[in-house]
Amino acid sequence: MKDRVNAANPWRDRISALRNMPAVLRILWESGRAVVTWGLFLRVIVATLPFGIAKIAAYILNDIAEVIRGHALAPNFWKLVIAEVALNVSLGLITRAIDYSDSLLANRYTQYVSVRVMEQAARLDLTTYEDPVFYDRLERARVQATDRLAMIQQLGRLLTQIITTLAFSAALAFASPWLVLLLALGVLPSFLGETHYAFLGYAKNFRQTPAKRQMDYLRQVAGSREGAKEVKLFGLNKFFTDRFQKLANQIYLEDVTLSRSKLIVGGLLGVIGTLGYYGAYVYVIWRTLHGAYNIGQFGFLTTAIQQASSNLQQVFSTASGIADQALFLTDLIAFFDMKPTVLSKPDGLPAPVPIQRGFEFRNVSFTYPGTNRTVLKNFNLTLSPGERIALIGENGQGKTTVVKLITRLYDPTEGQILLDGIDLREYVLEDLHRHIGVIFQDFMRFEMTARENIGVGRVDQPYEDSDIEVAAHKSLADTVVAKLADGYDQMLGRRFEGGVELSGGEWQKIALARAYLRDAQLLILDEPTAALDARSELEVFERFAELTQGKMALLISHRFSTVRMADRIVVLSGGRLIEEGNHQQLIDKNGLYASMFEMQAASYR
């Protein structure tokens, strides 16, 4: 995945980013239709009120001038005063109502987008997670998902400002078109300046994302419970803080350079705007002195100049703020547009129950996307119902990759994987997953209760507490739970209050229970016992052997004591199947298996 901001052509990027606006507006609309409608209605009222207030003020001023000149007070004078006060009070109240509706909408937007980001992240291929560019984008999308109050306020403000500007500009144009021209000429340069810096700010943030991700990582490693032991014992504190400091300084320098240039250029352009404003003001004074306007009209026009100028300026700066937000939202929209390639067929087949012929890898080759090393080469393997296979091989030979392919976390680069003679891609993905229970070596330790940690193994089907207990018994997790103060309701992990940490082996037993709860047709355990002590391992496997009777099981282990219980042992090397058979057959063959077995046995002598 390539991701780039074209720094050489900022305008084109900015304008093309505005193409995101319909998508953003749609997301806003979907996150709260009623709130959006109310917000729009209130804004139209608020935008027209200042015009009405200024008009009434002009009448009041004229009436007062008449009284000063010795005429009688107009009969409706006090009604005008009351009307102006009423309009101002309404303005204040409606403005508050708008703030309220904006904050409601921002809340809904954050919630809606966060859920969509989570859903989309879950849909995407595993490959995407291995791409650092994707991570940067996900990170930006996450940030963009939250705290969009400013964007919502800007959009609303833009609407108000446009209506108010149009109303006052029309009045000014009616008095003299020069007034509008003077104001527009004054405001334009600062708009261009604002937009330009908004883009530079975005490009800077974009460039800084990788460094900021690294900083987050360093901060997390240096301050985490997991990192604490090694950081202390290897004396890594200074190593990490120096690295962090270096990145932070680099970011600080870039920020300061941009802010400084914005200060100088923005200041100068602001002066031009002020001159435009006062040019129009002086023009009105001059015309009034020459008898063109009465005092009420003078008052109204000066208010109109002030309102039109400040609103026009704000229209530009709000619009450039929105263009800036639209640029930021590029990542969110691009993230939502990403499509997974491992897809479930729309009219896919349900997974067979029971599986009749089993799985077959037929000339499967696989290269991880974005790399050029072929991890599996013309790999062939069958797994029949009722069979328990152990996959063994040295580190990095492709054992876990086999598991990722049979579970369709990835699709083969070449060749096919068949289930009952039909390509895996023909089945409904979710249904296929429902029939496979898998625990990876890097299984999740959910910081939830023990019950939930086991229960996540079967969230899509109802289960009873007794099912949890049975699964826990099978995996020996019941012995772990028995020691917990709150039993199955004990919070695990130390992140949340009342949580207790478990040892690696204890976590492993809990994770195994999850696989047993699933009642799957194929059970896959990828180094399931690495953290278990010898006695636990023996017990786990005696049970495993019993429990998987008649089921398919795929087992990956480096321990030969475990491997021996399999019906068939498959030896992987260099991405190929090089030996297979039961323990005795492979020992007799005196190949790689026999030598690996001999090495491990020798280390125990």
Ligand X SMILES: Nc1ncnc2c1ncn2[C@@H]1O[C@H](COP(=O)(O)OP(=O)(O)OP(=O)(O)O)[C@@H](O)[C@H]1O
Distance CA 351, CA 333 (A): 34
CB of 444 to ligand X, least distance (A): 17
Contacting residues for 230 by C-beta, under 8 A, at least 6 apart = 236
Binding flag, residue 557, ligand X (CB under 6 A): no
When computed from its CA atoms, the radius of gyration of the chain, rounded to whole angstroms, is 35
Distance CA 593, CA 571 (A): 7
Binding flag, residue 600, ligand X (CB under 6 A): no
Q: With beta carbons less than 8 A apart as the criterion, state whether 505 and 528 touch.
A: no
Sign of the CA dihedral with 275 first, then 281, 283, and 286 last: negative
Other Cβ atoms closer than 10 A to 493: 16
How far is CA 17 from its chain centroid?
A: 19
Nearer of residues 440 and 544 to ligand X, judged by Cβ: 440
Contacting residues for 508 by C-beta, under 8 A, at least 6 apart = 443, 528, 529, 530, 531, 532
The one among 43, 137, 157, 399 contacting ligand X by CB under 6 A: 399
Distance CA 313, CA 311 (A): 5
- Strands 359-367 and 522-526 turn out to be unpaired
Nearer of residues 31 and 397 to ligand X, judged by Cβ: 397
Angstrom CA distances, 603 to 104, 223, 390, 559, 588, stand at: 66, 38, 22, 12, 21
Residues present in the chain in total: 605
Binding flag, residue 412, ligand X (CB under 6 A): no
CB of 375 to ligand X, least distance (A): 4
The one among 396, 421, 487, 498 contacting ligand X by CB under 6 A: 396
Nearer of residues 371 and 603 to ligand X, judged by Cβ: 371
Binding flag, residue 584, ligand X (CB under 6 A): no
Nearer of residues 399 and 408 to ligand X, judged by Cβ: 399
Binding flag, residue 397, ligand X (CB under 6 A): yes
Longest alpha-carbon distance in the chain:
125
DSSP assignments along 191-235, one per residue: HHHHHHHHHHHHHHHHHHHHHHHHHHHHHHHHTSHHHHHHHHHTT
Binding flag, residue 368, ligand X (CB under 6 A): yes
Instruction: Name the segment binding ligand X (CB under 6 A); options: 131-139, 223-231, 248-256, 392-400.
Output: 392-400
Nearer of residues 199 and 366 to ligand X, judged by Cβ: 366
The one among 99, 119, 130, 147 contacting ligand X by CB under 6 A: 130
Binding flag, residue 398, ligand X (CB under 6 A): yes
Distance CA 337, CA 319 (A): 25
Instruction: Name the segment binding ligand X (CB under 6 A); options: 108-116, 368-376, 427-435, 532-540.
Output: 368-376
Binding flag, residue 187, ligand X (CB under 6 A): no
Contacting residues for 140 by C-beta, under 8 A, at least 6 apart = 206, 209, 328, 331, 332
Considering only residues 372 through 391, tell me which ones interact with ligand X, judged by CB under 6 A: 375
Binding map of ligand X across residues 317-356, x = CB under 6 A, - = no contact: ----------------------------------------
CB of 49 to ligand X, least distance (A): 60
CB of 559 to ligand X, least distance (A): 12
Binding flag, residue 393, ligand X (CB under 6 A): yes
Binding flag, residue 180, ligand X (CB under 6 A): no
Distance CA 375, CA 573 (A): 10
CB of 574 to ligand X, least distance (A): 10
Binding flag, residue 371, ligand X (CB under 6 A): yes
Nearer of residues 130 and 147 to ligand X, judged by Cβ: 130
Number of residues that bind ligand X (CB under 6 A): 12
CB of 516 to ligand X, least distance (A): 23
By CB under 6 A, name the binding residues for ligand X. 130, 368, 371, 375, 393, 395-401
